[in-house]
Amino acid sequence: MGKTLCEKCKGSGKIWSKWIGLIEPVHPDLVFATGSMGGGLPAGVGFALAKKLKKEKGTIYVVESDGGMQVGTTWEAIQIAAQYKLNNLVLIVDDNSLQAMGETKKILNIHPLDRKLKSFGWDVRKINGHNFAQIERTISFRTKKPLAIIAKTIKGYPISFMRGNNIFHYKNLSKQEYLKALKELN
């Protein structure tokens, strides 16, 4: 049996590791990954448009951060997706109100994100990003427009010392923190 995605990424974020702590395309279902904010949705729009033009079945899923929603190329891609009615595209926005350098609203406020996306011609659903049943139900929703799912989350949830703490955007856990987190998860 092959290694899981998590096993393949062991060592992520450590000094001299080949993994930098971001999603890497090391699994056949991850055909594209980028560490730069603003790269994911334009690529996803390209994949979805290519599928439409080739009359191929399938849906393209893009996971983006609320910080990534501040980028100009993201909004260009949003317009292209709406213009070409890419109903084979699902954008999932991890809206935890934090980005690399602090609170999203203090750096560049993107809200009300749902109304902005709707005004650009997208179908939008807001969900609790920690509710797996709600996630599964929502990603299977079909529409004639591109679909944006705004998944409200809490960074570090459900670990008490990580919850809402932006330092864990970068910080590796110490052995003590790791053991405490495992204890809280059990």
Query: Residue holding tokens 């899981």?
Result: 4
- Per the domain annotation, does 185 fall within a domain? no
pLDDT digits (tens, 9 = 90+) for 109-166: 999 999 999 999 999 999 999 999 999 999 999 999 999 999 999 999 999 999 999 9
Residue 39's pLDDT is 86
Q: Tell me how far apart the alpha carbons of residues 98 and 145 are, in angstroms, rounded to a whole number.
A: 28
- Per the domain annotation, does 174 fall within a domain? no
Q: What is the mean pLDDT of the chain?
A: 87
- Per the domain annotation, does 111 fall within a domain? yes
Helix (H, G, I), strand (E, B) or coil at 29: coil
Cis omega before residue 112 (within 30°)?
A: yes
Sheet holding 60-65, edge to edge: 60-65, 89-95, 147-152, 123-128
- Per the domain annotation, does 61 fall within a domain? yes
The boundaries of the domain holding residue 51 are 39-153
pLDDT digits (tens, 9 = 90+) for 37-54: 788 999 999 999 999 999
Number of domains forming the structure of the chain: 1
- Per the domain annotation, does 107 fall within a domain? yes
Q: What φ, ψ does residue 109 adopt, rounded to 5°? A: -70, 125
Please state the pTM of the whole predicted model: 0.83
- Per the domain annotation, does 99 fall within a domain? yes
Question: Which residue did the predictor score with more confidence, 89 or 15?
Answer: 89
For residue 91, what is the domain's CATH number?
3.40.50.970
